[in-house]
Amino acid sequence: MRFAVREARLDDAEGIARAHTASWRTSYRGILPEAVLAQIDVDQRAASWRRVLTDRSLFALVAYDTTHHDIVGLCDCGPSRSDGSYAGEIYRFYLEHHARRHGLGREMFERVTDWLRAQDRRSLIIWVLDNNHHARRFYEAMGGQAGRRVPSMVSGFPVVELAYVWDHL
């Protein structure tokens, strides 16, 4: 097998930041302006991931290439940041383009929902950009139901975020 999934470690922060940035630049091309994508700072993302990876209330996974050991995907979750309607939330879920269609997304999703259930978090929310049709198809295939839409901003650019929800994990 070319790819595998494991729990993220603190020393993964830089690799996660690189994969996160690469995924953003391909996933949001044509959705967000190129100027927004070009300004992503990998070092800032690595610092953010170091904070996430030391927070024991959160759970993070990486997908990696088993040959070169490069991180090619990431997912993290924890308590919901929403109004309390949902117990758990997936905060970020990204795969680099070349790592898609290998079952990594499904494996990460299943491992995250297993972790949430073990934490007695039996409902889930994740926010996606409304016009990110690839992500929307994936969450629908995982059983998510489209919820409310909320206007938002990404680096000063107006977007609409769509909630996908699972009422019972």
Question: Looking at beta carbons, which pairs linking 146-155 to residues 24 or more positions away fall under 8 Å?
Answer: 154/32, 154/36, 154/129, 155/32, 155/36, 155/39
pLDDT tens-digit profile of 98-141? 999 999 999 999 999 999 999 999 999 999 999 999 999 999 99
For residues 14-23, average pLDDT: 97
pLDDT tens-digit profile of 39-74? 999 999 999 999 999 999 999 999 999 999 999 999
82 pLDDT tier (thresholds 50, 70, 90): confident
4 pLDDT tier (thresholds 50, 70, 90): very high
Q: Is 94 exposed, middle or buried (0-12, 13-18, 19+ CB in 10 A)?
A: buried
Residue 83 reports pLDDT greater than 80: no
Domains belonging to the chain, first-starting first, are 3-122 (3.40.630.30)
Supply the pLDDT for residue 1. Answer: 67
pTM passes above 0.85: yes
